[in-house]
């Protein structure tokens, strides 16, 4: 029987309110963390308008909605860092919470203002959430499986977990796994109607290139970290509700699969983002899973705002923590750094309604 496939990270790309670049740019931010503008004022951490024109060619930009541009920009950064050749087979998994709601309401506005003649054929494809994956697949030449996963809160972590599973099962030679979200001002106004409240939200995209350790070593790629386990499960809860159960199958299964015990986890990147009830539930679940030895928990949403891109960024950040021994945003103030006792990290996400993801991430 062949040895199990070990999944490694060979490229990172990030475009958000405070970071634009690959693993080096991410590392620079994590080493000197600060709140993105917008967050401090209690608003949304938005990607500044000056960023995308520098990353997307004007001719291409004409046909790409903003959220698609965010996705492509970050995806390309990750692919470039990994130096992977898409022609050898590349899968694509993108997680998103809101998709392209900006295009959706503009499409609807066209009709409401001018009737059928006001409809835009160019905008229509963006009303389906797979538009970021469709355009990114074209931009990077990904022709194997393409998936768009929609989930509240945990879409980014879920995309990485799903991508890792595809590599581990041998279904894909390599997977570009990412998360992207945009908070359009009209959408922002209506967030309470959509059931949101309390969270610090952000926007942006982050991608990681995942492949087997064997493939990466064979082509001389730089390995940034390893995903030792990636699981997704669910906890009981009403839709939009916060549950009461603390016993987590996701964390147990992840630790099991990685062959480690709770005490071996040196750091946690959690999904807390200002939704008090949900954050408390997550803390309870982590406490139950990791016991007395619960390590420091980084809460990056305080600095960058919750978005699917952040979920993916956390995985890359956990790899950075494994390499550097440092954990940002784990205490008060969130701009501080904590030394970690061991290089193995847990990336954890728990959503209202119960969607639950856990990844074990180690160093190169």
- Residues near other proteins (CB under 8 A): 58-59, 62-63, 92, 97-99, 104-105, 107-109, 111-112, 114-122, 124-125, 127-131, 133-135, 137-138, 141-152, 158, 162, 165, 169, 171, 190, 193-195, 231-234, 236-240, 353-355
Nearer to other proteins, 53 or 333 (CB): 53
Nearer to other proteins, 241 or 364 (CB): 241
Least Å from the CB of residue 161 to other proteins: 9
Using the 8-state DSSP alphabet, how is residue 221 labeled?
P
Q: Angle of helix 308-324 relative to helix 23-31, nearest 10 degrees?
A: 80
Token pair for 79:
């692919």
The partner residues of 150 in beta bridges, in order of sequence, read 96
Exposure string for 112-145, b = 16+ CB within 10 A, e = fewer: eeeeeeeeeeebebbbebbbbbbbbbebbebebe
Q: Which of 38, 20, 37 is nearest to 29 (CA)?
A: 20
CB 179 within 8 A of CB 310: yes
Nearer to other proteins, 135 or 324 (CB): 135
Least Å from the CB of residue 157 to other proteins: 11
Nearer to other proteins, 151 or 337 (CB): 151
Least Å from the CB of residue 362 to other proteins: 21
Nearer to other proteins, 343 or 353 (CB): 353
Least Å from the CB of residue 137 to other proteins: 4
Nearer to other proteins, 33 or 349 (CB): 349
The partner residues of 360 in beta bridges, in order of sequence, read 229, 346
Task: Look at residue 18 and give its three-state secondary structure.
Answer: coil
Least Å from the CB of residue 235 to other proteins: 8
79-to-209, 234, 238 alpha-carbon distances in Å: 7, 32, 39
Least Å from the CB of residue 254 to other proteins: 12
The partner residues of 181 in beta bridges, in order of sequence, read 204
């Amino acid at each position: 029987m062949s040895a199990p496939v070990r999944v490694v990270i060979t490229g990172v790309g990030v475009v958000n309110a405070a970071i634009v670049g690959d693993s080096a740019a991410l590392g620079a931010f994590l080493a000197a963390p600060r709140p993105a503008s917008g967050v401090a004022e209690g608003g949304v951490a938005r990607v500044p308008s000056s960023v995308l024109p520098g990353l997307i060619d004007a001719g291409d930009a004409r046909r790409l909605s903003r959220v698609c541009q965010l996705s492509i920009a970050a995806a390309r950064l990750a692919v470039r860092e990994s130096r992977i050749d898409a022609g050898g087979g590349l899968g694509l998994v993108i997680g998103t919470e809101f998709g392209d709601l900006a295009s959706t309401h503009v499409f609807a506005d066209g009709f409401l203002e001018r009737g059928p003649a006001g409809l835009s054929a160019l905008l229509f494809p963006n009303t389906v959430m797979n538009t970021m994956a469709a355009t990114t697949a074209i931009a990077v030449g990904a022709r194997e499986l393409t998936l768009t996963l929609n989930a509240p809160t945990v879409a980014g972590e879920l995309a990485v977990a799903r991508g890792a599973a595809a590599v581990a099962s041998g279904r894909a030679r390599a997977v570009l796994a990412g998360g992207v979200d945009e908070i359009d001002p009209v959408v922002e106004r209506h967030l309470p109607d959509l059931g949101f409240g309390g969270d610090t939200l952000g926007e942006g995209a982050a991608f990681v290139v995942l492949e087997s350790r064997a493939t990466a070593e064979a082509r001389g790629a730089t390995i940034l970290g390893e995903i030792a386990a990636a699981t997704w499960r669910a906890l009981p809860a009403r839709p939009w509700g916060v549950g009461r159960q603390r016993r987590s199958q996701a964390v147990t299964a992840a630790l099991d699969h990685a062959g480690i015990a709770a005490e071996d986890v040196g750091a946690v990147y959690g999904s807390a983002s200002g939704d008090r009830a949900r954050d408390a539930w997550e803390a309870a679940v982590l406490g139950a899973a990791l016991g007395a030895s619960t390590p420091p928990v980084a809460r990056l949403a305080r600095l960058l705002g919750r978005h699917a891109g952040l979920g993916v960024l956390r995985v890359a950040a956990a790899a950075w923590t494994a390499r550097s021994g440092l954990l940002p945003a784990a205490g008060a103030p969130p701009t501080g750094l904590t030394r970690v006792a061991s290089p193995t990290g847990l990336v954890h996400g728990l959503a209202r309604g119960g969607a639950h993801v856990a990844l074990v991430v180690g160093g190169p």
